[in-house]
Amino acid sequence: MVALGAGHSHFEDEQFAEHVAEALAGCFVILLLPHADPMVSETVLRARCASERGEAWGGVEFLPEWVTSSQNAALADAVVYATSMTPTEIALHAAGAIPAGRR
């Protein structure tokens, strides 16, 4: 398992996104978001950032772009929404999203 935060899988230069897609070809990629509603995901992530960093990205708004990134969506074979799940439940749900032949 490789965890890439949204900012680590979204690129302003489309050529970098193509390199990432090539590197992950053959892998089963799960996009993990807090909620199916992008606005709720942004709210959850902004609150986490403020809690962990004491600020919400220093006034720069990357979260809306990351949460709705077509690059992230294109990389994903499945999406898991972590609404109200414990870390263990998220892991089990993510593992369950992987087809049996790819585990």
Residue 31 in 3-state DSSP?
Answer: strand
Q: Which pLDDT does position 9 carry in this prediction?
A: 75
For 12-46, give one letter per residue: b (16+ CB within 10 A) or e: eeeeebeebeeebeeeebbbbbbbeeeeebbebbe
Encode pLDDT of 11-24 as tens digits: 888 898 899 899 99
User: Domain range holding 93?
Assistant: 6-102
pTM of the model: 0.81
> Does 79 fall in a domain?
yes
> Does 71 fall in a domain?
yes
> Does 95 fall in a domain?
yes
> Does 15 fall in a domain?
yes
Q: Which pLDDT does position 60 carry in this prediction?
A: 59
Neighbour count for residue 1 (Cβ, 10 Å):
7
> Does 48 fall in a domain?
yes
Calculate the CA dihedral of residues 61, 66, 69, 71 and round it to 10 degrees.
130
Average pLDDT, the chain: 85
Q: How many domains does the chain have?
A: 1
Q: Which two tokens stand for residue 14?
A: 């489309």
> Does 82 fall in a domain?
yes
**Rounded average pLDDT over 36-48:** 89
Of 69, 66, 97, the closest CA to residue 81 belongs to 97
Percent of the chain clearing pLDDT 90 (strictly above) = 39
> Does 54 fall in a domain?
yes
> Does 98 fall in a domain?
yes
Residue 101 has pLDDT above 90, yes or no: no
